[in-house]
Amino acid sequence: MTPLTILSEDERMFFDTVLAFARERVAPQVSSMDAASTLDPGVLRGLFELGLMGIESPSERGGGGSSFFSAILAVQALARVDPSVSVVVDVQNTLVNNALLRWGTDAQKERYLGKLASEWVGSYALSEAGSGSDAFALKARAERRGDRWVLNGRKLWITNAAESSLFVVFANADPGQGYKGITAFLVERGFPGFAVGKKEHKLGIRASSTCELLLDDCEVPAENVLGELGRGYKIAILTLNEGRIGIGAQMLGLAEGALAHTLDYVRQRKQFGKTIAEFQGVEFQLARLALDVEAARLLVYNAARLKDAGHDFVNEAAMAKLFASEVAERTASQAVDLFGGVGFTQEFPVEKLYRDAKIGKIYEGTTNMQLQTIARGLGSKS
């Protein structure tokens, strides 16, 4: 595998620490978690113990006080072993924690950041049955009643929902204003009228829970509005731009894992008196995969560095997410091919990585949405 040559010493040490945790604590549970469609509680505790659930949160609130880039490295390292576990850390850091850090009041940060760093899982609840790519077609409603807001509606495909204690929920507080009425709310699992509904049975990343949320006169204190009233659309857009880099990192790590498994296998498996790796046709296939993975890594790292530096990164995030998701699917598919018949069985890990890769082109903005973002950004880059 290509060495991580563009990392500082501290970044490399952090990456290696997370990768070691993934190999020692996560790897033995991957198959059982996938089969049961459940995140192992011990693995989840380990994520908190290692400080991976509050990487950017300030140290005075129990977090790591580190960078967005570090969060991306953690996602990448975990995804080499299990993309399901990586997405738990991804959503927690790039969506939930970042939304609180950027738009939360001091009281909200005081109440939630410490818990999110030490014990609470968070979810980001934007999607609905009729609002996927068209995120602002959401039907959930919020009505002010005295000192609280009352939310009604249904959210679908919410990552981490089975484990989460806090949800960033988007609802329209003024439908007459269209998307300008959308507002973000911090909803605790125990609030009256809130419930986690059906858990989806998925093709891939099965240990990562995906559930519906039911809002039936859900009561939310007025102080739990996140950001300004009616500015939820801005929170959603800007946060998802950051989240797409996280998905890029997840897909990058998946591709790296698939390629590593493949290299190990083709260097041992013999046919016609020599290892598969010695055939020129296979060599060329591996070279193409290595090229793709390296290009994806540079795109993901560049987008994350731009974000940390305070530069515009919207186009770069879209490019990283789009390209890395394509590379992940292509690499995992080629891995199954090169494993041959056993690659189609659950005896080897590439079968699972192939299933896990598919979601990369779909969530946090489909491939077509990323292409649209990139195309629209071309004028501003000229």
Three-state secondary structure along 23-41? HHHHHHHHHHHHHHCCCCH
DSSP state of 130: T
Per-residue confidence (pLDDT) for residue 2, from 0 to 100: 47
From first to last of its 382 residues, the chain has per-residue pLDDT tens of 444 558 999 999 999 999 999 999 999 999 999 999 999 999 999 999 999 999 999 999 999 999 999 999 999 999 999 999 999 999 999 999 999 999 999 999 999 999 999 999 999 999 999 887 787 789 999 999 999 999 999 999 999 999 999 999 999 999 999 999 999 999 999 999 999 999 999 999 999 999 999 999 999 999 999 999 999 999 999 999 999 999 999 999 999 999 999 999 999 988 899 999 889 999 999 999 999 999 999 999 999 999 999 999 999 999 999 999 999 999 999 999 999 999 998 889 999 999 999 999 999 889 999 999 999 999 766 5
Please compute, for residue 264, the number of CA atoms within 13 A of its CA located in the half-sphere on the CB side: 9
- The pTM (predicted TM-score) of the whole model is 0.95
How far, in Å, CA of 327 to CA of 295, rounded?
9
**What is the topology classification, in CATH, of domain 234-381?**
Butyryl-CoA Dehydrogenase, subunit A; domain 3 (1.20.140)
Query: SS3 of 193, please?
Result: coil
The verdict on whether 49 is a catalytic residue reads: no
Contact 243, 313 (CB under 8 A): no
Per-residue confidence (pLDDT) for residue 72, from 0 to 100: 98
Catalytic member of 56, 128, 242, 364: 364
CATH fit for domain 9-121, picks 1.10.540.10, 1.10.8.60, 3.40.50.970, 3.20.20.100: 1.10.540.10
Per-residue confidence (pLDDT) for residue 131, from 0 to 100: 83
- The domain limits of the chain are 9-121, 123-231, 234-381
Per-residue confidence (pLDDT) for residue 380, from 0 to 100: 67
Residues 6+ apart with CB under 8 A from 137: 128, 130, 131
330 is written with which tokens? 């292509």
Query: What is the CATH class of 123-231?
Result: mainly beta
Per-residue confidence (pLDDT) for residue 207, from 0 to 100: 97
